[in-house]
Structures are given as structure tokens and as C-alpha cells.
Structure 1
């Protein structure tokens, strides 16, 4: 992380378990982010914490550090059975659960604690085989965990640490009844360390904390502004007929190292994927109905750089930490103002700069005023020349469900490109 995102508080200043310090040192973690500096003094002393922090602020390492320290500093419950994990980390989506598990794995190497993962849609027997060997820390989504619990593959009676990540998202996705079902099967709040993190500490999130946590301390890290100051925002007003060609021309001009293109519907994403794949881009598609194994493979390919462009619905906009995203394209302006912030928040992280480009077409331009009111500023407008857009582009490919990306990335020089589409005279809207 860049020092601009860090405090002067060192992890070594805390009375952390030596094995946790060793693990942090091995990963190069020396200084705390603001949310870590605020939360750790409470959690390390055994106090529950409800924290407000956006994705990318270091909250995952805050609750992982606290969890590993607590388990290493306190003995397991007497008579604990092999199907009883000591810590439970709940995530709203499979992708976030997989990501948290990956972030926790380096800590297991130094501490010797066993890690398990449970999420729906894939790998039922494979996940169960690991759990049957006994795990100390279980990262899970609610549906698969309840399935295991009802069959007594997992028993929550020995939980010493409970973490609820993206609590607001749990409400959005309708998982709160499941969360409460799981809470009722854990030891009382006074007998465990509980942590909750959420992008917003709304009334309903605070009510959940009041009901199921032990006098939680509230810590909040408010962003200086809703959109990061390292993100260059830009807005175009294309016609519906020129919208796709403008996107393809901008991709030629920007030539992003790693970009996410957001659209509002699955069908629109598939259409974008077809055009970009036909144009020679290494592009992956991430929507809700893509098979689970494929979704994880696409995310892995995108993270490793085998795929340069990810076309996604808002299923990928929250919770996922994909490093070094250089560009975000809002092919459709979102209907929800918060989704705009979450989308462009994929870039400009950890001290890096980012670029967000939005296309306000005839269909979705009506969403712009509420977005600009929500973020507190007008998005700078750029004009483009229709004559500068790419021509003679190939017809779109048809989606084949067995494919994620396409061949080698083609060169940046296109014979049919007439020049940069931007008009250098920029103005602010409003």
C-alpha cells in the first residue's frame, strides 16, 4: 500500500501474538490503514467492533489479524468436536468468500491454524472433505453453511470469533434471516469476539449489531469524498447508434492494462462481450448466471492478467478486491447512485491513479442528475467526433459458455481508426 493510505501506527506497536507478527512481516505489512488502527485496539482487548469502511481500506486484514490473534491467545473450548470451527467469517457472495480465504491463507503458514471454505454452487464434496478433517477458521456464505449445519457437518457451538463482512450487502441480498438463524446456533455474544464491517452503518445494520453483538464499539472511516480523488472521471454523451463504436474507440485510445466494463443487464454485457471479443480483445464475462467454476476462473485470469477486460454486471461491483484496475467504463449509467461509486471504486486504489469513463446514452442519461447530486460534483464532460470513431468493425461473436477469453491481445494500431475521438475542449456539465 502507498504511504498515503497508511497511518503512523505500526502493527508491531500492538501486543499481537508473535506468530501473527511473523505472518504480517512476511507479507510486508508494517503500518496500519485507518480502519486497522481504529479497530485493533478494541478487538485485541476482546471488545466487539462494528466498523464502517469501504472495500479496499484494509478491513479484511483488520478482522483477519484480530481473528488469528484471538484464537492463538485463547484455548479452544473444552470438549470441542472435529465438526466445530473456532471462528466463522461470513461473506455475502461466493467471490468475496473465496477472496477472504485467499487473503487468510498466508496467515495459516505461520500460525498453523487450519482454514476452511464453504460456498454454494460448486464443490460440495470437495469443501466437505476439508471440513471433515477439522478447521479452526471457516469462511462461508450463508446458504452452503446452513446446508452443512442442518446435516451436522458443521456445528457452531464452539465459535470463539464471528465476523460478518459486507453487512449492508447481506440486507440487500435478503440474507438476514439466514444470518439470524446462524447466530442462534452460536454461543452467546458475551462468550465470543464479534466483528461486523459494512460500507454504511445504517439503522438496520446498527440494529443487527445491537441484537447479536456485545456492546459493540463503532469505528468509522469516512472517505474524504464519495469518489476517490485519484480517480479521473470523464463523461461522454453518445447516441445509441454510436455508443458501441465509442467504447471500442476509447479502448483503442486508452489501451488499458486492466479494465472493467459495467453494464446494467446480463444481455447487454453479453452483447458487449461479443463485440470486444470479435475485435480481438482478451475479454471475460462476469454475470450472475455464469457457472460458478467459470466465474472463479475468469476472476483468476483477470487478476493474473491473462484477461485484460472484464465485462460485468453489478454482481462484481461490491466486495471484490482486484488489484491494479486502471480503467472502469460505465457503458450504462447505473440506476442506483451507490452503484456508480462502487463501480468506479474498482480503480484508483492503494495510492494508484485510475480513470473512470461513463457513457450517458439516450436510455440512461436520466440517471445522471441523481448520480451527480449523490457524489457532490458534476462529472467532467468530453466531446467526441463521430468521424474519429472506428469503422469496419467485425460483427460480434456469439457467446459460447465454455469460453472466457480470446487469444492474444491484438496490437494497438487499427487501420480503420481515424484518430482520437476526444474534442480537447472540455467543459463541466451543469
Structure 2
């Protein structure tokens, strides 16, 4: 959970259960943030709310306090079964779900409700066992929730509070049909409390709220100020081939910094990592293809300060509270202006200051006008002076370790006996390397024909009983 600019409203000014107040005190929370001060008077009596606020302003604590207060105030339905959660919180990404669950553990320490956390990529049977034992509060991502639901591991007929966090991200990731699937299997909106939160409330998110909630009250905090006011923003106009020298030069000039470097593609993050590691800058890659256990381990190391630099795609841009991030560097400008806001929202959290640096390169320069229009301000341009550009030795590029695919040997990829392809450092910009030459493509066709002839006894052209491949 996170603190930002605080109001004069104290948590103990609300009629909260002493056990919840004790949980808040354990975290050091005494005064509400603006979104909490607006949401709690509406949500605690049971009204549905749709809240918009800048990322990192305390939305998570607002809905957790509301949900816990409802659970301690009302007894569960006498016919409720053990596999029926009373509160369900849906998050778009695994990392955000883990963070919400971690915050819930802290606030729930004195109330003792049973918690469950489900997300894809790992722990399938362990998560299933937790649900079978029964939970009161269930936090999860849409895909894994629907998977267990369809198997009958739990059902949604006893849900009293439904929370949708980062609703606009649900649309971006294609989860909106899953969200509607879950909401339609809960009690009707008049029989449960609904809370929807997002850093941006678009028309489509508002439509979702009014379709599946009971006349939600909209709450918008600082709607005219899109980016955090304590983020210092500037950019460099730069050629593509100067991006790596500038990045290395900037990072070498930072002391005791915790930096997230954002790129638009997984391939770019791996190339950036290779150059940073090769030039003495310890970093890690966080993208959607990184195995879940490794992603969580890397996030933990970065949050604890053991890892100074995280190179990430937009999988790390939303919802995650990582304390003390001093700098965000947009190695690639995002093509969606809203993603810029979410990226730089990783710094200047908890009322601290932070720096957001963007590279305006030949490939993504067209994104800058849209970003400036969206945030309603011009981003200051700084000159690229020679002293900022580091000397880069391509021979020191570190290749990204790759997991072997079970079919790599047959396909002739990697270093198996079936192929001669050797990994090479890939340029950060430009077209990808071709996987095969015309000669290897022709050899592959001949090998397939020989296999068909051996299998069928035919010629591989007209006599084979196996249809030739296209």
C-alpha cells in the first residue's frame, strides 16, 4: 500500500472496527489520502463507487478497508458453503494480484478472515487446495478465476463485495469478456456492493460500471492533473544508434538510484539488458515471457534494493507499488499516451520526488505530440552533449540465456544437433534476423519429402498416401 499527499481526515474518524484500525496502525496509516477521504464516506455505508485517481494514491487501501468493514459488520448467509467467497477482487496482472493480496494480509492481521490468491503461471494445485479449504476474500486474475470456477472449485453466489481494479487495463489486455462472465454469475448488483477503480475512467469503463453496478457514484481526484506533480519530466531528441550510449551514460551518472527502464517489446528489453550487463550495470528483464516464479523473485529483489535496474515492458507499468523508485527511463516512447502516465507513475510515490526521462528517437518520435496533448503540458527537451554518451563495445554484449524448447532439436534451432544457427547479439533497432536462408529452406523441403517416402513407400510426389504439405 502507498501513502501520498495526506488530508486532515483520520481513519479513526470513521466508525471502523477496532481490529481494522489496529491493522491500519500497524502499517503506520493514520490520515487518509484524497481518494480514501472521498471513497470511504460513500463505500462504508454500502454504496457502489467508481473511483479514478492517479496511480499510487491509495486506492487499494480504500477498497480493502471497505470490504473488511462489511465482513465484520454482517454475518454470512446461514446457507453459505465453504467454497463461496464473500469478497472477490479481480486484478489484470499477476504482479498486481500478488501485491493486493500482500496488502490484504497486513490489514487482515487482526480480523482473521481466510484469504485466497489465484493467478496463472504457477502453483495450480496449491491454489486449488486453498480454495477447497474455503476462503472469505479471494484475489485473482480473470483467467485462473474462470478456470477454477468452471471446475466447480468455488462459486460466486455468495459474493457480497466485488472489486475490479485497474479496469481500463482489463480492456487493454482483452479481459473484458472474462470480467463480464464473472460479474453475471454473482448476485445482482442490488444484492452486492461493487467497487471499480482505475487510474483513468474512459467511456467504455464507465459503461461497464453502469452495466454491472448499482448506480455507482463516480469519484475523481485531480482529474485535470494527469501526471504526478512531483515527477520531473524531460526528454532527449536522439538518433536510434545513440540510445544505448546515452542510456549507459545516464545510468553510470546515477548514484544509489533505483531505475526502471521501459521498452515497447520483449526483444528490445533483452537487447538493453545485454548491453547493460556487458558494460558493468547489473539489471534484470521483466516481461510477459519471464516465468512467473522468476518474475516474482526479480520484483522482490528490486523492491528490496538488491537489484538496482529493472528493464521492463508495460507488464510493470500499472498498479505495482515499488518503493523508492528514483528514475523511470522511457527507452522507447509508448505508442499509447495513457501508458506514459502509468509508466512514470512508478516513481514519485508515497509523496516522494522522482525523475522521468524519455528518449525521443527516430522510431517513436511520432508519439510525443499525443503524449503532450494527453498530459496537457510540454515535456522539456535537454541537449544530448558528448559527455552523456558512453563508449560502447559491441564485443561486450551479453547474450540472453534462452530456455530450450522441446522441439528445438527437430526444428534445427538453438545449439541442438539439428541446426547450425549460432546466437548473435541483436541490434536494438531494425528488422529481426531471418530464421532461415533459402538454402536451409530448400534442405528442409527435401528432408520432409524423404521422410514421407520412407513412411509411405511412395515417391513423395504423386504416390504417397500422405497429402503433401503446403
Question: Which residue does the alignment assign to 1:42?
Answer: 42
User: How many Å separate the matches in 1 of 2:316 and 2:388?
Assistant: 32
Question: Which residue does the alignment assign to 1:180?
Answer: 180
**TM norm structure 2:** 0.82
Question: Which residue does the alignment assign to 2:391?
Answer: 391
**TM norm structure 1:** 0.90
User: How many Å separate the matches in 2 of 1:240 and 1:120?
Assistant: 36
Which stretch has the larger CA shift, 324-333 or 228-237? 228-237
Which digits, 9 at most, give the CA deviation of each residue in 1:327-373, with x for residues without a partner?
01111111111111111111111211101111112222222222222
User: How many Å separate the matches in 1 of 2:139 and 2:287?
Assistant: 23
Question: Which residue does the alignment assign to 1:66?
Answer: 66
Which digits, 9 at most, give the CA deviation of each residue in 1:261-286, with x for residues without a partner?
01111111100011111122221101
Are 1:231 and 1:356, in contact at CA under 8 Å, matched by a contact in 2? yes
User: How many Å separate the matches in 2 of 1:388 and 1:24?
Assistant: 45
- How far is 1:88 from its partner? 0.3
Q: 1:178 to 1:392 in 2, by over 3 A?
A: closer
Q: 1:249 to 1:352 in 2, by over 3 A?
A: same
Structure 1's unaligned 5+ residue stretches are: 403-430
Which stretch has the larger CA shift, 104-113 or 360-369? 360-369
User: How many Å separate the matches in 1 of 2:342 and 2:171?
Assistant: 17
Q: 1:229 to 1:396 in 2, by over 3 A?
A: same
State whether structure 2 residue 327 is matched by structure 1 residue 322.
no
* Within-5 A mapping of 1:337-376: 337-376=337-376
Are 1:53 and 1:222, in contact at CA under 8 Å, matched by a contact in 2? yes
Secondary structure of 2:57 counterpart:
coil
User: How many Å separate the matches in 2 of 1:365 and 1:174?
Assistant: 27
Question: Which residue does the alignment assign to 2:293?
Answer: 293
Question: Which residue does the alignment assign to 1:94?
Answer: 94
Which stretch has the larger CA shift, 367-376 or 26-35? 367-376
Stretches (4+) displaced over 4 A: 1-4
* Within-5 A mapping of 1:9-158: 9-158=9-158
Are 2:113 and 2:136, in contact at CA under 8 Å, matched by a contact in 1? yes
* Within-5 A mapping of 1:235-274: 235-274=235-274
Secondary structure of 2:247 counterpart:
helix
- How far is 1:316 from its partner? 1.1
Question: Which residue does the alignment assign to 1:230?
Answer: 230
- How far is 1:76 from its partner? 0.8
- How far is 1:223 from its partner? 5.0
Are 2:162 and 2:194, in contact at CA under 8 Å, matched by a contact in 1? yes
Are 1:282 and 1:306, in contact at CA under 8 Å, matched by a contact in 2? no
Are 1:52 and 1:220, in contact at CA under 8 Å, matched by a contact in 2? yes
Which digits, 9 at most, give the CA deviation of each residue in 1:221-257, with x for residues without a partner?
1255222221111211222222201110010112352
User: How many Å separate the matches in 2 of 1:387 and 1:17?
Assistant: 59
Which digits, 9 at most, give the CA deviation of each residue in 1:61-87, with x for residues without a partner?
000000111001000111211111111
Which digits, 9 at most, give the CA deviation of each residue in 1:85-143, with x for residues without a partner?
11100111111101100111112211011110011121111111111211110001111
Structure 2's unaligned 5+ residue stretches are: 404-470
Which digits, 9 at most, give the CA deviation of each residue in 1:360-390, with x for residues without a partner?
1222222222222222222112113336532
Which stretch has the larger CA shift, 20-29 or 3-12? 3-12
Equivalent pairs counted in the alignment come to 402
Tell me how large the CA RMSD over aligned residues is.
1.7
Secondary structure of 1:139 counterpart:
strand
User: How many Å separate the matches in 1 of 2:351 and 2:86?
Assistant: 35
Question: Which residue does the alignment assign to 2:411?
Answer: none
User: How many Å separate the matches in 2 of 1:317 and 1:3?
Assistant: 18
Q: 1:336 to 1:392 in 2, by over 3 A?
A: closer
User: How many Å separate the matches in 2 of 1:26 and 1:282?
Assistant: 34
Q: 1:278 to 1:45 in 2, by over 3 A?
A: same
Q: 1:289 to 1:81 in 2, by over 3 A?
A: same
